[in-house]
Structure 1
Amino acid sequence: MSGASFLVVPQWQGSGSSRAMRLIDGADAIRGDLPTARTHQVPVPAAAGESLGTGVNRFSSLAVVREATQAELGLLEAPVVTIGGDCGAELAAVQHALAAHPPGDVAVVWFDAHGDLNDVESSPSGAFCGMVLRAILGDGPEGLASTGADRLDPAQLVLAGTRALDDGESAYVDEHGIRVVASGELDDPETIVNAVAATGASAVYLHIDLDVLDPSAIEGIGSPEPFGVQPERLTETIRALRRRFELAGAGLMEFAPETPDAAGHDLPVILRILGALTGPTGAPGGADGDR
């Protein structure tokens, strides 16, 4: 893997899953296959943290991780691939990438079975992993939500492979006209390339929650949803986006293996995704694809 920095953020406090602590093991397993010289890690508090009246579970620890991640990002050469941890571990990384570019220059493609678009009022769980994208759009408690150059405009967002939205999230998507590319539409990578082109952006930030994949392709995820994307389609789509747009940054989140052996079973798929993010893009249908 060349040309990228890696930042491991083994945050679990944003998760609402009973498997939350396994996210630490997942981040550690992935780190073992990353280039040591270009890989950094953010220290994550051992304490769960307190909500402090924000409506976000474990808010205090999440705010500490965000601040520590921001500090680390300032030292790394772009593009940075952030390894989680729960989806909230990527908060500072997306904000950092947005702030480093002119307004409207970066589109965010959110490869995720879920929208992560709840706010404090609509969240059914209080878990920040389901609110992180809404915070990047500017809705959330002080200390987490974007407020300036790091704020994403809904017109610059593309949801990809999303197939499980809460009612409040669906209403937000409809109200703001957010582009949604269904799992089946990813059979043709140009569909999402065209969706990003329609934003007018010249760069992309690629968020990848592993639950965007079909459960038949990966076991170590906490919230599997049927009818997901196959790995070869995901990697082809990532390469197609990188051929067309500058990579502003990326994140790979939510690996929660049950055991070290189980982690080893899933790692080949994860490494193929990381290879698509950081390796040669090739020509469409070229020899470096995953057919």
Structure 2
Amino acid sequence: MPATFVVVPLWQGSVSARAMSHADGASAIQGDLPASTTIVVDVPTEAGESLGTGVARYSTIRRVRELAGAALDRVPDWAITIGGDCGAAVAAAAHAQQRSGGDVAVLWLDAHPDLNTAESSPSGGFGGMALRAIVGDGPEGLALDDATRVSPGRVVLGGVRAVDDEERRFIDEHGIVELTVDDLADPAAVVSAIEATGAERVFVHIDLDVLDPSALAGLSYPLPFGVGAPELAAALRAVAARFPLAGASIAGFAPSSPEAASDDLPTILRLVAALTSGAAAA
């Protein structure tokens, strides 16, 4: 079956000065998706409160997590979740695990590993804790439970270029595989790294800041020396050809204006097409 698109215009997990532009980015992408196979989550407008968790805007992020989970429960097959910030990936990963019986590797394509905790985060932004929540570590209502969490041994990081101390400790302690930007230009290397996890299916997360800023203007956290769009699309096609996709998410689009969004959308839609190019989904 074709993918269902679940649009989650979450901005509250970002602490960027352009945080609210993540909602605009999700809406811009939605405009080019097929309406008949798209579900839109109504994200509350209020920022929310931390409620002593150390997570900025926790109350709203938790509510959106519940709303996204309910939307994903309506998906008949597999889903591509469109954020918003990277916090939107957490419900998407849980859905992928549930429908695949837990046999999922996570390919996390991002300039940042998003492996901070509420205690270690320098900002309190949940977007920087999203993958840590997926492996089961985080505040109540955000971290995946024992039935859905992903083992760190089944995580493959790709294109990471900025790592905090706690993130480095966690990566090294668990032996998480890291693919460099150069590695991402070799589709065979990407496929091999996922194969080594032993998983039969894969969940792919793309924070668009994995791309070089020359490839996409609408980034809230642009970092130089990222992967090119053609190389990333080729890697995604190779992954989709080798593995059934259990799900995917795309996040981090923060255009400065509608006109700027229009300039970036062909690149983003190229990545969407690569994700949907496989013969089958999980």
TM class, shorter-chain normalised? over 0.9
Task: Quote the Cα distance in structure 1 between the aligned partners of 2:185 and 2:17.
Answer: 33
The residue correspondences of 1:153-232 to structure 2 (distance < 5 A) are 153-232=151-230
Aligned residues: 279
Equivalent residue, structure 2, for 1:287: none
SS in 2 for 1:251: strand
Is the CA contact (8 Å cut-off) linking 2:240 and 2:277 kept in structure 1?
A: no
Equivalent residue, structure 1, for 2:96: 97
Deviation, 1:241, is 0.6
Deviations 1:131-184 (A, max 9, x none): 011011111111111122110100110001111111110111001100000001
Structure 2, unaligned stretches of length 5 or more? none
Deviation, 1:280, is 5.5
Equivalent residue, structure 2, for 1:5: 4
Equivalent residue, structure 1, for 2:62: 63
Equivalent residue, structure 2, for 1:138: 136
Deviation, 1:29, is 0.7
SS in 1 for 2:138: coil
Task: Quote the Cα distance in structure 2 between the aligned partners of 1:81 and 1:147.
Answer: 21
Equivalent residue, structure 1, for 2:247: 249
TM-score of the aligned structures, taking structure 1 as reference length: 0.94
Deviations 1:241-280 (A, max 9, x none): 1111110000110100001110011011001001101135
Task: Quote the Cα distance in structure 2 between the aligned partners of 1:222 and 1:5.
Answer: 26
Identity level (%): 55
Cα RMSD after superposing both structures: 1.0
TM-score of the aligned structures, taking structure 2 as reference length: 0.97
Moved over 3 A (4+): none
Is the CA contact (8 Å cut-off) linking 1:78 and 1:249 kept in structure 2?
A: no
Q: For 2:156, give the aligned amino acid.
A: V
Q: For 2:182, give the aligned amino acid.
A: G
- 1:263 corresponds, among 257, 261, 264, to 261
Deviations 1:94-146 (A, max 9, x none): 1111122233x210000000000000111000000000110111111111111
Q: Does 1:46 align with 2:33?
A: no
Task: Quote the Cα distance in structure 1 between the aligned partners of 2:147 and 2:127.
Answer: 22
